[in-house]
Structure formats: C-alpha cells, structure tokens
C-alpha cells in the first residue's frame, strides 16, 4: 500500500479540515518546539478557503499530520492572530498560533512545602494545580531535595522559570502537556532510530557547544517525536558546523552515529509540495564540557582592562566563550570597539549595532547608547544577550543573536536572505559566492575571520 501524506485541522474541538486520501486544501505549516521559548509556536497557511470560513483569534486549534497509519497531533494551542493574504492568484488564510490556552496560560498558585521536600513532588503539584498533564523523566530528578522547603506564591510560569534556573532544567507547554526535562542528563525515554532506512534526509550535522556534542538531522515527518525523547542516529557520513568547530575542538568520538536527547523540534510541510519533514536538534547525554574562559581574549589589546573584565563576567553569566563576544563586537564596530560608532545607512549604533527599536525595548535609545562609555554600554549588551541565554552553543549562534536571531541553532546551509529583497540588498557583501543567497555559513564566516584576526591582538 502506498503511503500518503495526511493532515487535519481541528478548531474549537470541531473538525475544520478532515483527514482524507482525497483532494484537500493546500496547507503550508511551520511548527517550532523549543524549550528555550517555554511555548511551541505554529504558523499555518491554508489556501483558497471560502470567505465565510473565518476563524477568530483566541480559538483553540489542533493540527494533526503524518503518513498513512502514522498520523498524530503535532501542535495543540490557540490562534493569536489570523488574517488573509495573497499568494499569486490564491488567497491564503494565515493562522499564527502558540501552545497553551489563553484562559489558563498564566495560572497562579499559593502553596508551601515542608523542609526536605523533593523537587519532583513540587513539580508534580504545580502541574496538578495548573492543571497540566506532566511529562517528566523522574530518574533525572530523583534525590534532588529542597532542604529548606519551598513556597510558591504567584504566577506559575514565573515560578517554573525560577526553579528551572536554580535546578538546571527546561520546561515547555507542548500539545496540552507540561514537559519538564534536563537537556544533557541521561534519559530513560524510548529511543527512535533515524537512518536512511527510516526516512533520514541528507546527512546529520555535528556541532559542539557548552551543552556538549550536538547533532542536527532532518527526517521525514514523524508526529511521534517528543521534546523529552531520544533518537539513535545511524549514519556512515556526517557534516560539521564550521561556525562552531573553528574555535571549539571536538574531543573523543565526534561521529554523528549514536544516541542523543531531543532538544528541539521543528515540523515543516507543504501538502502540495515536496516539504514534509521533522528537523531535530539533539544533544548527547553527559557530553558537556565546562566553558571557562580564563585565557587571553581575542582583540583584548584594543580595549581596557575594565572592558575585558566585564566581557568575561558577561560571558560567564551566559555560559559562553568571552572571545566569541569579542569577535562579534570587533566585527560590528570595524574593530574599533567604539560605543558611538554608527552605521551610515541605518540607526544601528554601538558595540553590537543596536537599532532604534532594539534600544527602545531595552529601555534606552541609540542616542543615549552613543553617549555611554564602552564599559557602560556593555550592560546593554548583556541585557540584550540575556534573552538568548541557553541557546548560544557556538560563535555562529553568538553572531546570529545580533545579526539574525532566527538563525540561532540553524545549520550552515540555512538561508537568511535571497535576492531580490531588502535584507539581501542591505547585506549583499555577505554573499560570499555571489549566488543570490546569504546563508548562515556565509554570514558566520565574517565573524570567524574576526576571531582569526583578533588572535594577534589577544590579551
């Protein structure tokens, strides 16, 4: 029997588009499930629906997809925005969605726990009171005792954030459940094989950062992958993320083959095109190496001792290499490390070229930033990078955080812009091979060059 790609859409508990082997409306979807965001996000485009088929913002939505005899929910949440667009001769109904539900997203709780309570028991109670069904690998949390007890009083997501920071775990609302996991600790959840015989697309890409040995792999769409699951990759070949390996050596077994914890998932598809895949970021359990930057900083001779001390402090707080920050700021300022340097073609100003909207979101302005000393401006560099804490695994991610945040964690082949477009035109110099596209690898090559050049000024 030939396997067919299938999908269905459920709105407010009722079937909106039914699962069928016959002709269906064209749907294009992009679902991002990343514990660093605490919510999953979905972007759905449905083509040529009747005008009467309107859906209000706030409506619940479930999207199911897969293949014949292998269909399950890959997104469950609610619609935050809906609008109609044009794509050539077609009309497109677009739904922007996030997981959870608008009524209970910000649940509150008032509970106190006695001395010696187990962290696992606190997490179970929080999930029950929210209420959310809890997905947790209990072996990762056994023996963690809160010796002084604990008190929860207020917003549940905020309390989970505080506990996650204190006890080094990730949490996420996914498909109506509260998922709590440790990204690098060993897991006991079932492992799913990924190989050329099970739908692997291309070859896996190996990377390494502060969280350990990582892998990025694409598989045909599988709705049964879960953010707290494991994969077992079997591949004779692999590629390597050049934006990472230039500055971080790979010790030991650096092959892609082996078991990994699933760290992030992305489901993408086009029911009338070739795309129908699941992209997976994985981390090998217990492979993390300490990220301690005590050596000389690249470009260190160009800045003051006070500046170097502050950069190391920021890097320590972010758990990244301080020289990554120096390489990025060197490139962004033309290697001047001047807090008032300005891009003549935009409002971009300072050490990481803050634009006006970014400066405003940080509680300041580009004018005020330009009047600061470089050391003073580093406070805003840290404030900016804090939003990406835990997601920066290599020098490429560090640069993407400044240049193109959507590129964090993406492979070198990830396309940032194509010609003609305003983004491409403004950054055409990054198109190294002049093929009309700017990839992450091409963009990162410039900051790699900054790192190389900065070594002769290390201090």
For residue range 324-349, what is the model confidence (pLDDT) as tens digits?
A: 999 999 999 999 999 999 988 788 99
For the segment 263-302, what is each residue's pLDDT rounded down to a tens digit?
Answer: 889 999 999 999 999 999 998 887 765 444 446 899 999 9
Q: Are β-strands 239-240 and 200-209 bridged in parallel, bridged antiparallel, or unpaired?
A: parallel
Instruction: Give the distance, in angstroms, between the CA of residue 232 and the centroid of all CA atoms in the same chain.
Output: 21
Place of tokens 């972007």: 43
Which element (helix H / strand E) includes 129?
helix 119-129
| pLDDT value of position 278 | 97
**Is residue 67 pLDDT above 50, yes or no?**
yes
**Is residue 204 pLDDT above 60, yes or no?**
yes
Cα distances (angstroms) measured from residue 147 to each of 150, 162, 250, 294: 9, 17, 39, 34
**Is residue 255 pLDDT above 80, yes or no?**
no
| pLDDT value of position 244 | 47
Cα distances (angstroms) measured from residue 344 to each of 339, 341, 347, 352, 427: 15, 9, 8, 15, 14
DSSP class of residue 348 equals -
Instruction: Give SS3 for 11.
Output: strand
**Is residue 26 pLDDT above 80, yes or no?**
yes
Helices 305-318 and 322-332: crossing angle in degrees, nearest 10, is 120
**Is residue 2 pLDDT above 90, yes or no?**
no
Structural domains of the chain, with CATH: 5-99 (2.30.300.10), 108-181 (3.55.50.30), 191-283 (2.40.30), 300-457 (1.10.530.10)
Of the pLDDT bands very low, low, confident and very high (cuts 50, 70, 90), residue 251 is very low
Q: What average pLDDT does range 171-175 have in this prediction? A: 89
Mean per-residue pLDDT over the chain, rounded: 87
| pLDDT value of position 118 | 93
- Give Cβ neighbours of residue 15 (< 8 Å, ≥ 6 apart): 8, 9
């Amino acid at each position: 029997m030939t396997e067919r790609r299938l999908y269905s859409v459920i709105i407010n508990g009722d079937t909106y588009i039914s699962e069928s082997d016959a002709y269906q409306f064209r749907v294009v979807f992009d679902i991002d499930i990343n514990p660093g965001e605490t919510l999953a996000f979905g972007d759905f485009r449905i083509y040529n629906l009747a005008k009467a088929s309107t859906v209000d913002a706030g409506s619940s939505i479930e999207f199911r997809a897969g293949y014949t005899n292998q269909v399950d929910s890959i997104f469950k949440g609610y619609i935050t925005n809906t609008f109609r667009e044009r794509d050539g001769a077609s009309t497109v109904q677009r739904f922007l969605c996030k997981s959870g539900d608008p009524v209970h997203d910000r649940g509150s709780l008032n509970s106190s726990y006695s001395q010696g309570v187990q962290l696992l028991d606190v997490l179970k109670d929080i999930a029950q009171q929210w209420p959310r069904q809890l997905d947790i690998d209990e072996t990762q949390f056994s023996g963690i005792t809160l010796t002084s007890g604990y008190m929860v009083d207020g917003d549940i997501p905020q309390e989970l954030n505080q506990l996650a920071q204190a006890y080094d775990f990730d949490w996420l609302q996914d498909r109506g459940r509260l998922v709590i996991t440790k990204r690098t600790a060993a897991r006991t959840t079932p492992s799913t094989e990924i190989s050329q015989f099970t739908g692997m697309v291309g070859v896996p890409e190996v990377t390494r950062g502060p969280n350990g040995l990582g892998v990025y792999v694409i598989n045909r769409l599988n709705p049964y992958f879960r953010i707290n699951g494991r994969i077992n990759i079997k591949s004779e070949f692999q590629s390597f993320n050049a934006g990472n390996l230039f500055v971080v050596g790979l010790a030991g077994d650096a092959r892609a083959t082996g078991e990994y914890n699933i760290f992030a998932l992305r489901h993408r598809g086009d029911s009338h095109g070739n795309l129908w895949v699941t992209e997976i970021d994985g981390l090998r359990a217990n492979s993390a190496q300490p990220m301690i930057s005590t050596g000389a900083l690249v470009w260190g001779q160009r800045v003051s001792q006070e500046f170097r001390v502050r950069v190391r402090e920021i890097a320590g707080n972010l758990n990244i290499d301080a020289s990554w920050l120096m390489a990025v700021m060197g490139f962004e300022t033309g290697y001047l490390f001047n807090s008032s340097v300005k891009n003549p073609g935009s409002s971009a100003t300072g050490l990481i070229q803050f634009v006006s909207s970014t400066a405003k979101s940080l509680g300041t302005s580009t004018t005020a930033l330009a009047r600061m000393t470089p050391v003073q401006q580093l406070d805003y560099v840290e404030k900016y990078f804090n939003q990406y804490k835990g997601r920066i695994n290599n020098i490429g991610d560090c640069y993407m955080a400044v240049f193109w945040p959507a590129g964090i964690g993406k492979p070198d082949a990830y396309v940032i812009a194509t010609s003609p477009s305003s983004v491409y035109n403004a950054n055409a110099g990054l198109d190294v091979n002049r093929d009309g596209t700017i990839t992450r690898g091409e963009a990162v090559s410039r900051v790699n060059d900054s790192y190389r050049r900065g070594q002769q000024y290390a201090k």
